[in-house]
Amino acid sequence: MSIILFLLGLVFGSFLSALASREGSKNSIWRGRSFCPRCQKKLSAMELVPIFSFIFLGGRCRHCHKTIPWYEPVVELGCALAFLVVGFVHNWSLDWMLARDLIFTIFFVLLFLTDVYHGLLPHRFTIIATAVALGFNLIIARGDWLIAPTVASVIVGMVVCGGFFMAQHLLSRGRWVGGGDVGMGVFLGAALGFQYGIWAIGLAYVIGAVFAIFLLATKKATTKSQIPFGPFLAIAGWIVLVAMVR
């Protein structure tokens, strides 16, 4: 099971990175073959194997010899490790709850990447993620508080977590948080419920503050720099998701 989850994580990591990187562009991941963004040459199947292609090619495109972004294998490996953690906390049991948390992990990774790459949390992603979260928590899990939030908790969580960011968005006229953060808050409420959704938001602010202090201390950012908040929400949401199981 661990090997299967690791390999699945590598594959999904590669796919989600490509999906996130092409968000907002005319190059749909659903049409046509993958290509090098530098020379536009189409890539063969051997050039698309996660991690191993990067190592085999020496981190360079086979056609133009330009350097392949270092974050590509990092994303693939990170997603694989996240899948392993989810499998571990579920004691490697192949059931609906394992499937739920793996799918939630996929959405957290996707939203993390789109905000890192483009500073966007697309509504179409958060809406789909919220719908899937509702399906799992209200239909499959059936309100088992030990592994999924109750119906009331999900509804209150969506309103409170989404409303928290909506209030900031309206009060600041979009200067404090973007509309995508509102959708992310609704997704957190649907996935984690009220109590754990609040915990995730609080943890996100802590992680974000530590990261901001680090950037300021290393002079890689100033007090006027804008840092997307979605990645911290995604990281915190996933951490709380895993902690819920334990």
- Joined together, the tokens standing for residue 220 give 């890689």
Of the listed ranges 54-58, 77-81, 214-218, the one predicted with least confidence: 54-58
Domain limit, last residue, from 40, 72, 92: 92
In this structure, the answer to whether residues 75 and 133 fall within a common structural domain is no
Q: Is the pLDDT of residue 107 over 90?
A: yes
Tens of pLDDT, residues 150-191: 888 899 999 999 999 999 999 988 888 888 999 999 999 999
In this structure, the answer to whether residues 63 and 84 fall within a common structural domain is yes
Tens of pLDDT, residues 230-242: 999 999 999 999 9
CA distance 96 to 102: 10
CA distance 21 to 23: 6
Q: Is 55 left (phi over 0), alpha (psi -120 to 50) or beta?
A: alpha
Domain limit, last residue, from 92, 108, 143: 92
In this structure, the answer to whether residues 104 and 86 fall within a common structural domain is no
More confident residue, 54 or 173: 173
The Cα-based distances of 153 to 6, 55, 106, 131, 187 in angstroms read 32, 46, 23, 16, 13
The predicted structure's pLDDT at residue 222: 83
Q: What is the domain count for the chain?
A: 2
Spell 89-110 as b/e; 16+ CB within 10 A means b. bbeeeeeebbebbbbbbbbbbb
Of the listed ranges 35-44, 81-90, 129-138, 196-205, the one predicted with least confidence: 35-44
Average pLDDT, the chain: 86
In this structure, the answer to whether residues 62 and 144 fall within a common structural domain is no
In this structure, the answer to whether residues 47 and 24 fall within a common structural domain is yes
In this structure, the answer to whether residues 66 and 188 fall within a common structural domain is no
Q: Where are the alpha helices (DSSP H) in 46-174?
A: 52-56, 71-89, 96-118, 123-135, 151-172
Closest CA to 19 of 143, 111, 131, 145: 111
- Joined together, the tokens standing for residue 173 give 């006229």
CA distance 237 to 245: 13
**Range(s) of the domain holding residue 154:** 95-246
Closest CA to 160 of 128, 188, 132, 135: 188
In this structure, the answer to whether residues 38 and 23 fall within a common structural domain is yes
Average pLDDT (36-52) is 67
Q: Are 201 and 161 in contact (CB under 8 A)?
A: yes
In this structure, the answer to whether residues 16 and 122 fall within a common structural domain is no
Residues β-bridged to residue 35: 42
In this structure, the answer to whether residues 75 and 20 fall within a common structural domain is yes
The predicted structure's pLDDT at residue 144: 52
Of the listed ranges 22-26, 74-78, 110-114, 179-183, the one predicted with least confidence: 22-26
In this structure, the answer to whether residues 230 and 135 fall within a common structural domain is yes
Average pLDDT (209-226) is 88
Cα Rg of the chain (Å, integer) = 19
Given pLDDT bands bounded at 50, 70 and 90, which one contains residue 208?
A: very high
More confident residue, 18 or 87: 87
The predicted structure's pLDDT at residue 123: 93
How far does CA 141 lie from the centroid of its chain?
22
Most confident of 77-81, 151-155, 223-227: 77-81
CA distance 142 to 145: 9
In this structure, the answer to whether residues 149 and 237 fall within a common structural domain is yes
- Joined together, the tokens standing for residue 246 give 């334990």
In this structure, the answer to whether residues 116 and 140 fall within a common structural domain is yes
